Amino acid sequence: MLREFENRWRRLRNLRDSNPKVFSIGLTSLYSSVAETAAAIEIAGWDYSEYEELTSELLSGIRDIKTLEERAFANSIRKYQRWALDNIKIFTTNTDTDNLNRKIDNLIKCIRGETQFRYLDWHDEVPEISAFVASINYKKEPGSIYGENETFLYNNTSFKLEKIREECGHAILSAFMIKRLIPIDTTNLELPVLEMYQNAFENAFGLLDATLYQTAVAESTVETVKVTPAAFWEAMK
């Protein structure tokens, strides 16, 4: 029996690097079998000392796996913090005052028919904004200049330029919040990252100011399945 266990251990060791998951499961199973056999021999009053070396090797291997898993899990936590921080930074960069105003200018040009949303350098980030642009009906009196005698019909309401710019800003903010902030599970954030998240979220949410966009963000918060460190841990196995 001992020789059979030793042969299984020899074959199993070859999987340590090539298939660590199978190695871990097989090692645990083999250790259990060896320990049970050794215990049965001892209970019968026979000498089980020849099993001690193999038992010690297997137990050492299990401890090594546990140490590696602990390190891998700690690494997955660090990767999660970095992922969350990157998303927060992408959000704040895209929605700071200058960039938000630039994006609003972009949308106004799209609405006026001067360009198309798909040509904007940020269209891939929040492609759903194209539906918002398409939903606005633009009219301008012949011979008038931009900003004068032009109307923007949205949700059965006629808006002037200043008001539609505000709507554009809300649409952009909410889309970026849903894309970059909402998926983050804040219960797993380290304090500095959490504070950055809260500042970014609260400032943007306040700017939405009880609009339908604010409601959309709130609903997304409830409905979105959060990304957690467990996803990074599973990916690393």
**For the whole model, what pTM was predicted?**
0.74
Check: CB of residue 153 under 8 Å from CB of residue 167: no
Amino acid (one-letter) located at 4: E
Tell the burial category of 202 from Cβ atoms under 10 Å away from its Cβ (0-12, 13-18, 19+).
Answer: exposed
Euclidean distance between CA atoms 76 and 74, whole angstroms: 5
With tokens 């992922």, the residue in question is 83
Contact 87, 196 (CB under 8 A): no
SS3 159: strand
The pLDDT, as a whole number, for residue 230 is 81
Burial per residue of 61-70, b for 16 or more beta-carbon CB atoms within 10 angstroms, e otherwise: beeebeeeee
Q: What is the pLDDT along the chain (237 residues), one digit of tens a residue?
A: 788 888 888 888 888 878 878 888 898 898 899 888 888 888 888 887 888 888 888 888 888 888 877 787 888 889 999 999 999 999 999 999 999 999 999 999 999 999 999 999 999 999 999 999 999 999 987 766 666 779 999 999 999 999 999 999 999 999 999 999 999 999 989 999 999 999 999 999 999 988 899 999 999 999 999 998 887 767 655
